[in-house]
Amino acid sequence: MNKINLIIQREYTTRVKKKSFIIMTLLTPVLLAAILIIPTYLATKEDNQAKIIAVIDKTNITEGAIPQTEYMKFEYVSGTDVEAIKNNFEKSGYYAILYIPENILISSKVQLYSNQQTTVGVNEHIVKALDGFFTTIKLKNENVPMDIMQRIATHINVDTIQWTTSGEEKKGSAEIVLFIGYISGFLMYMFIFMFGAQVMRGVMEEKSNRIVEVIISSVKPFQLMMGKVVGIALVGLTQFVIWIALTFGIFYGAKFFLLDKSEKAPTTSVAANIMEKGNTGMAQAANTGQYEEMFKEISGKFSAVNFPMIIGCFLFFFIGGYLLYASLFASVGSAVDNDTDTQQFMLPITIPILLGLFVMMNAMQSPNSSIAVIFSLIPLTSPIVMMARVPYGVPIWQLGLSAFFLIITFLGAIWMAGKIYRTGILMYGKKVSYAELWKWLKYKN
């Protein structure tokens, strides 16, 4: 046991002290946030390319119905048709031609002509404006009074309320639960694959450099494999703990900083500020306490999420899933001499991981569907799929059954990897097949 501890200590310290580990540990939360936030920001950012759209309106009633924007202008033209504008399109400077037919109330269709593919933003802007305009026209045709139309215009927001067995109610958010499920499952996939691959490459490196021949003279092959697997597992757990601390530190640091600023802002009423300072005072008063309200809203929604359960499940399924896959990766690394030879053995290992990632997408939408439940019980996919389900609430018996299957499977995988590792770690220059691996498994101690 002391020898395994020494190997664990060596594997852990050599990796944790690397500059690459320190840099990536600190930068990964920032990079993950960038991956999630930047695409969303860019997708919602308004297109700043100037666009002039010619409108041919055969109904003669929509002028002004489509609002102009800073970069999108609608120019109504009359006394011409689409073909005439198309013939002189390059010189006209138009981005597109919007044709509104006379029978639009029946067909509910307009045509947008352009010599290039129009963007989704342009299409949605036109559709949204004309939908509201012609809905109002139809209501007027049905003799619905204007004041009634204004009163019936409604936008619904959904507040998710969860209640516990004690009857306590908490305001939740389906979007937040979906986000946490996605992050948990994706991190599990990334961790298992990344650290499992580190085990395989470490074994291959020691084997190819013949360092392992010296090490084996002092420790047993199984002790070497277990020390390497557990040592890298501790590296992963260290990163995970640091990431959790950084995440909560950033959140509460921002809360303290912003609320501190909010409390120092003037506390006079909105009415007093309007009277004393006009519009500037109104804006300042309106901003007073806005951060406090924002954090209260966010904290209220997150309070319905059982973070201790999520973190506990993540740690367990990471350890179980990592030990399972790291054993398989270690056996592959011990059986081959170079990266090229790993391809035939990597496919059966990576397919379940990728399958778990695909099923995770279904589990986030339907956490209690048959597919999600089954794959959250299968050990090769349960670490990823179960983490996508846990934020929604999983019955205890399913968690227990999944944990039991995972423990039994990774114990079997460690036993199998130990048999392969013992024989393959000192074998060089031979192409190993599945039949050969089967023979190694049948060798007696």
pTM, rounded to two decimals = 0.62
- We find that the CATH architecture of domain 51-152 is 3-Layer(aba) Sandwich (3.40)
pLDDT score at 284: 43
Question: Comparing 399 with 79, which gets the higher pLDDT?
Answer: 399
pLDDT score at 386: 92
pLDDT score at 114: 86
Mean pLDDT of 120-144: 82
pLDDT score at 400: 93
pLDDT(109) > 80? yes
Give me the residue spans of the domains in the chain: 51-152, 173-442
Question: Comparing 354 with 257, which gets the higher pLDDT?
Answer: 354
- Give the range among 89-93, 371-375, 382-386 with minimum mean pLDDT: 89-93
267: pLDDT confidence band, cut at 50, 70 and 90? very low
- Cβ atoms of residues 417 and 400 within 8 Å: no
Q: Which two tokens stand for residue 138?
A: 């139809």
Q: Which two tokens stand for residue 35?
A: 């991956």
262: pLDDT confidence band, cut at 50, 70 and 90? very low
pLDDT score at 123: 86
Which residues, in sequence order, are bridge partners of residue 73? 52
pLDDT score at 269: 42
Mean predicted lDDT score pLDDT of the chain: 76
pLDDT(408) > 90? yes
How far is the C-alpha of 114 from the C-alpha of 186, rounded, in Å? 41
Helix (H, G, I), strand (E, B) or coil at 361: helix
**Beta carbons within 8 Å of 10's beta carbon, 6+ residues apart:** 227, 231
- Give the range among 269-273, 315-319, 404-408 with minimum mean pLDDT: 269-273
pLDDT score at 375: 93
pLDDT over 90 percentage in the chain: 8
How far is the C-alpha of 418 from the C-alpha of 4, rounded, in Å? 14
pLDDT score at 285: 41
Mean pLDDT of 348-354: 88
How far is the C-alpha of 247 from the C-alpha of 244, rounded, in Å? 5
pLDDT(26) > 50? yes
pLDDT score at 159: 57
CA max distance for the chain: 95
378: pLDDT confidence band, cut at 50, 70 and 90? very high
- Give the range among 170-179, 187-196, 364-373, 393-402 with minimum mean pLDDT: 170-179
**Beta carbons within 8 Å of 198's beta carbon, 6+ residues apart:** 15, 232
Mean pLDDT of 229-247: 81
Burial class (CB within 10 angstroms; exposed 0-12, middle 13-18, buried 19+) of 76: middle
pLDDT(272) > 90? no
